[in-house]
Structure 1
């Protein structure tokens, strides 16, 4: 299974935030830390916010913080949220894709089972289990 870079960077952001949950991280700081454009990072932050994983605050002392303790955030749920709309294979797409063997396919059920097992295995761990060391603050 291959995760999108969107999910990869979303997980990295959450891992960093989990390392210092009392601290707010700015979009600029996170973009610099991960070598991403602020625009791309902002889209990831919006998705994490919509998913109830982070909260964003404006103004002085603002930035992004975890919406709840890292120990309550399951990795499988994060991946499932960030990968929304990204079908593992074409036939998993909402419209069923353009598969010509759909009626005879025996692979789809096995792939669905593997995808479920993958997410279930990730759900055995929380964000607290994979927290990073904080980025050194510049003065």
Structure 2
């Protein structure tokens, strides 16, 4: 299974945020730290906010902060949220793709089980388990 860069970057942001859950992080700060596009990270942060993982505030002292303690945020749930709309294979898409073996395929059910097990395994861990070490301030 391959995760999209959207999910990869989202997990990186959350790993940093989990290192200081009481603090708000600006998208600009996270973009600088990970050398990623601020515009792209803003889209990811919006998805995380819509999914209830973070809350955002504008203005001075604003930024994004985890809505729950890191130990209460399951990795599988985050991946599922960030991968929303990304089908593992074409036939899992909303329109079913254009499968030429529909009706006689013995692979689809196995892939669905594998995908479910992947998410279940990720849900055995929380954001607290993968939090980055707090950066050392000079």
Q: Does 1:97 align with 2:97?
A: yes
Task: Describe how 1:1-139 pairs up with structure 2 within 5 A.
Answer: 1-136=1-136
Query: TM-score, normalization: structure 2?
Result: 0.96
* Partner Cα distance (1:127, 1:64) in 2: 16
State the Cα deviation string for residues 15-54 of structure 1 (Å, max 9, x = none): 1100001111111101111111111010000000000000
Cα distance, 1:134 vs. partner? Answer: 2.7
Cα distance, 1:103 vs. partner? Answer: 1.2
Unaligned runs of 5+ in 2: none
- Tell me how many residue pairs correspond in the alignment: 138
Unaligned runs of 5+ in 1: none
* Partner Cα distance (1:31, 1:109) in 2: 39
* Partner Cα distance (2:16, 2:6) in 1: 16
Cα distance, 1:102 vs. partner? Answer: 1.1
* Partner Cα distance (1:33, 1:69) in 2: 22
> Superposition RMSD on alpha carbons, in Å?
1.2
Query: TM-score, normalization: structure 1?
Result: 0.95
State the Cα deviation string for residues 49-73 of structure 1 (Å, max 9, x = none): 0000001111221111101111110
* Residues 29 and 137 of structure 1, relative CA distance in 2, 3 Å threshold: farther
**Runs of 4 or more above 4 Å deviation:** none
Give the secondary structure class of the aligned counterpart of 1:9.
helix
